[in-house]
Amino acid sequence: MAHGAGGKASRRLVEGLFAPLLYPGSQEPLNDAAHLEVGGTRIAFTADSFVVKPLRFPGGSIGELAINGTMNDLAVSGAKGVAITVTFVLEEGLAASVLEAEVRAMSKALKKAGAVIAGGDTKVVERGKADGMYITTAGIGTPLPGIKVDARSVRPGDKILLSGPIGDHGITILLARGDLDFEADLCSDTRSVLPLVEALAAECGPGIRWMRDPTRGGVATALNELARDSGLGIELLEEEIPMHDAVRGACELLGLDPLHIANEGQFLAIVSSEYADIALNALQQTAGGEEARMIGQVQVEPANAVLVTTRYGGSRIVDMLVGDPLPRIC
């Protein structure tokens, strides 16, 4: 399971097996989407799978997640999604009404994203072989003009922007599974981040160095990957990281680090220092970006690592997630 949790083991699997055999010789950092040239036209291309349990949760559902998640992978690579393919793996006995609800949710999210379905496939597996439904997608997008997202272009002094509060999706799912006997007024943050990315691109396109949506593995894992790919250090200011009280409370109670909790509708952007204030303003002036913050900066040291400065001037290293986040006893 750790190999699919988005942390260290996932990275090891990709770097140790997939990349050497399927993408030999490449020195490119691992991104959310590939930018390719096809017949003289540049396109962005991505793929994703959605295996969320439960299928519906406060604030969203697997269908909506599949569309928004795919579009977001394209958006943070600097592209606007235009077409998507959808493959359903359905478990025998799944109620038709459940499937219909998800297809409707997808249709709504597609319309909002301004994208179309380019194709798809359906497979049915025996009862007990899937958690109701899995969805696999592939998405194609057109690059937004004037943006080049590449970890290797990140420089010391660049600023780190976060589009909004962290942990809402991960904690919502944890609570929606019903294993925990407490409730919180919390919704998943699943949404399209494209409007925010477009606002950023319009105001400070050349200043954007890198973007990533911190899904599985959370902000900690995304920034550790950036630190490794850029060879630089990331310094976060703990008090600047936006977080809802319900997320903070749940993490305190369970002994989880909110920086490791999954997000869906947020993204991180590294912006050159001269564009930082403009970029933050652009995000905060765009609907859904009101809670965006500048949460830290890139520096030379600690090389390849993420450091958090606490509110009291102390500091600690934040590592990538190891396996799934597991709650503590006490």
Partner 1 sequence: MQYVDEFRDPELITRASEEIRRLADPKRHYRIMEVCGGHTHAIYRFGLKDILPSNIELIHGPGCPVCVLPMGRIDDGLAIAKAPNTIFAAFGDMMRVPGAHGSPLEHKARGTDVRIVYSPADALELARKYPEKEVIFFAIGFETTAPSTALTLMSAKAEGIHNFSVFCNHVTIVPAIRAILDSPDMRLDGFIGPGHVSTVIGCRPYEWIARNEGKPVVTSGFEPLDLLQSIVMLLRQMQAGEAKVENQYKRVVPWEGNRAALKAMAEVFELRPYFEWRGLGFISQSALRLREKYAAWDAELRYSVPETRVTDPKAAQCGEVLKGVLKPAQCKLFGKECTPEHPIGALMVSSEGSCAAYYNYEYRKSLVTRISSVA
Q: Given the rule CB under 8 A, which residues bind partner 1?
A: 1-2, 8-9, 179-181, 233, 245, 248-249, 252, 255, 301-303, 305, 307-317, 319, 322-323, 326-330
CB of 318 to partner 1, least distance (A): 8
CB 143 within 8 A of CB 41: no
Nearer to partner 1, 100 or 252 (CB): 252
CB of 89 to partner 1, least distance (A): 21
Residue 71 or 306 with smaller CB distance to partner 1: 306
Task: Report the nearest approach of partner 1 to the CB of residue 150 (Å).
Answer: 25
CA distance 302 to 183: 39
Q: Which residue number, 284 or 309, has a Cβ lying nearer to partner 1?
A: 309
**Nearest to partner 1 of 8, 191 (CB atom):** 8
Q: Please say which residue, 2 or 117, places its beta carbon nearer to partner 1.
A: 2
Taking the complex as a whole, the smallest distance from the CB of residue 2 to partner 1 amounts, in Å, to 8
Smallest separation (angstroms) from partner 1 to the CB of 254: 8
- Sequence length of the chain is 330
Number of H helices, E strands in the chain: 9, 14
**Cα first-last separation, the chain:** 24
- The half-sphere exposure of 300 on its side-chain side, counting CA atoms within 13 A, is 0
Measured CA to CA, the distance from residue 63 to residue 312 in angstroms comes to 43
Q: What pairing do the DSSP bridges indicate for beta strands 79-91 and 116-125?
A: parallel
168-176 and 245-254 helices, crossing angle to 10°: 60
